[in-house]
Amino acid sequence: MIREIITYPNKILKQKSRDVTQFDATLHTLLDDMYETMMAKNGIGLAAIQIAEPLNALIINLPDEEDKQRKENLVEVINPKILEMDGTTVYTEGCLSVPEYYEDVQRAERIKVSFCDRHGNEKIYEYDGLMAIAFQHECDHLKGELFIEKLSYLKRKKFEKEWKKKLKGKK
């Protein structure tokens, strides 16, 4: 089922998510809903809190070399931990909760992570490139943080001004 994505400045996005304890049908339905919702909005990542579920669950589905998002490349991440970070990289990020806004954000270039799959099996991976960036972006959502909080003071001020204007225009 496609769910509603909540957008900035909805306070739910500031909530800290909690660990998943039951790897059951309810979790599987949530993950399936997250996938449908993300694909409907052409996103490459989504955290559960973005559909108002404060659980440590996120999904990432990067496009392949042909720029196609294939379901077999979908990564479901439950209760993630970033174990190691290394290097720095800058990438122009966007977020389905801050639609149509893109800005450069600095993050670690490489990360080592642990997380569970939908059945509760723990995995450890090392990521770089866009996967490392997306993983860090989505993990921030679980802490109640958005990428706009990483902007410089001036860029953030400019964003707030533009965003207010945009919200006004929609009313």
Active site residues: 138
| Residue closer to Co ion (CB basis): 52 or 120 | 52
Assess contact for 34 and 46: CB atoms under 8 A.
Answer: yes
| Residue closer to Co ion (CB basis): 95 or 132 | 95
CA dist., res. 29 & res. 18, Å (int): 18
Minimum CB separation from Co ion for residue 24, in Å? Answer: 26
Q: Which residue has the CB atom at the shortest distance from Co ion?
A: 95
Q: What angle do CA 91, 96, 102 make, to 5 degrees?
A: 35
CA dist., res. 77 & res. 57, Å (int): 6
CA dist., res. 47 & res. 53, Å (int): 9
| Residue closer to Co ion (CB basis): 95 or 108 | 95
Residues 78 to 117 in contact with Co ion, rule: CB under 5 A: 95
Minimum CB separation from Co ion for residue 45, in Å? Answer: 6
Residues lying near Co ion in the complex (CB under 5 A) are found at: 95
